[in-house]
Amino acid sequence: MTNRRALLGGAAILGSLGFARAAWSRWEAVAAVPHDMRSWQLYLPLEFSSTLMLRLLRLLPPPDPADAIVPGVDVDKRSAPGPDGQGPVEVYVYDTPGRQRPAGALLWIHGGGYVAGDPITSHRVCSGIAGQLGIVVINVGYRLAPEHPFPAGLDDCYAALRWLHERADDLGVDVGRIAVGGESAGGGLAAALAQLAYDRAEVPVCLQLLVYPMLDDRTVLDQTRPKTLVWSPTSNRFGWTAYLGHPPRLREDRPYAVPARRDDLNGLPPAWIGVGDLDLFHDEDVAYAERLQAAGVDCQVEVVSGMYHGAYGMAPLDSPTVNAFRVSAVQALDRALNDQG
């Protein structure tokens, strides 16, 4: 009994020391973030490290939808026909009464590492863009991994894009002015969707708006990656493994599974890519942007010093730095959808 108590006591001490080291490391990491971007969420040591942890995190209540809708914007929940043999895809439509018709449209894809998230978490972003630019925004509720690995989520997004094109007249949308966009895993899906739409040549896309997109599973294979805020290497490994159906490896031959693995980027739609230099995805995002530019694709890159992953939705609403980042993204979208020359 004495030995057992000693072992338990030693384990408790070691556990406390481990937690203290982790907490101190996190405080040091947060110190690199400018004050205007700091959020209480940065201090939480949350990681997607197991299916059990994912289930627990999914139990967290979503924000109140009523508090997130920008005044003056109407939101309508609809169902789009799903991929062949699958159920319907849930979409939210954001529209502003009295806007010009037809107008441009944005198909938005929420983040969550391919394993979490919900369209409701993007209500503020989507309604804000719809109201500010006088466009229609479609927010996709795609299927999540690991229950639904690739290509389920991408298939749902493509089905929603086709629905948007087919319902363009009813929605008051110009089919020549439709953009796709998203943040984090949603940005990765948007990049893959732009590739898929280009190859199938059924539904044109005029812009890909990629907010710190999750583009390259090979980042998991780089063991030199430092611990990062919000989205860590551990979470990244879990998310990619769940989505791909296997751990990331040197070869991944399935088209559209990993956007950054596509060899030929010629002909893809113009892009806006934004990321912070404290984001785990910084290197892969900048590399993809440079490859797009080398392929002749018009690509604007916005790199923000001191910005972490998820800042678009987590930073204080009055943060000048993140607001400038948001403005850059919205201006790129405005030029693509509303600037008729």
pLDDT digits (tens, 9 = 90+) for 214-265: 999 999 999 777 767 889 999 999 999 999 999 999 999 999 999 999 999 9
Percent with pLDDT over 90 in the chain: 72
In the structure encoding, which two tokens stand for residue 271, read together?
Answer: 């892009």
Confidence label for 314 from pLDDT (cuts 50, 70 and 90): confident
Catalytic residue among 155, 174, 279, 285: 279
Q: CB of 143 within 8 A of CB of 117?
A: no
Closest CA to 70 of 117, 121, 125: 125
User: DSSP secondary-structure letter at 9?
Assistant: H
Average pLDDT estimate for 132-138 = 97
Domain 39-338 has CATH 3.30.70.360: no
What pTM did the predictor assign? 0.91
Catalytic residue among 110, 123, 282, 309: 309
d(CA 232, CA 116): 15
HEC per residue, 37-103: HCCHHHHCCCCCCCHHHHHHHHCCCCCCHHHHCCCCCEEEEEEECCCCCCCCEEEEEEECCCCCCCE
Confidence label for 323 from pLDDT (cuts 50, 70 and 90): very high
Catalytic residue among 122, 184, 232, 319: 184
Q: What is the pLDDT of residue 52?
A: 87
Percent with pLDDT over 70 in the chain: 89
Q: CB of 114 within 8 A of CB of 243?
A: yes
Q: What is the pLDDT of residue 11?
A: 37
282 carries an active-site annotation:
no
184 carries an active-site annotation:
yes
Q: Does position 64 have pLDDT exceeding 70, yes or no?
A: no
Q: Where are the alpha helices (DSSP H) in the chain?
A: 2-31, 51-58, 65-68, 123-133, 152-166, 168-171, 185-200, 233-244, 282-294, 311-314, 320-338
Q: Using omega within 30 degrees of 0 as the cis cutoff, is the peptide bond preceding 151 cis?
A: yes
Residue labelled with tokens 């693509």: 336
Q: What is the pLDDT of residue 333?
A: 98
Q: What is the pLDDT of residue 4?
A: 40
Q: CB of 263 within 8 A of CB of 247?
A: no
Q: Does position 340 have pLDDT exceeding 60, yes or no?
A: no
148 carries an active-site annotation:
no
Half-sphere exposure at residue 20, Cβ-oriented, CA atoms within 13 angstroms: 6
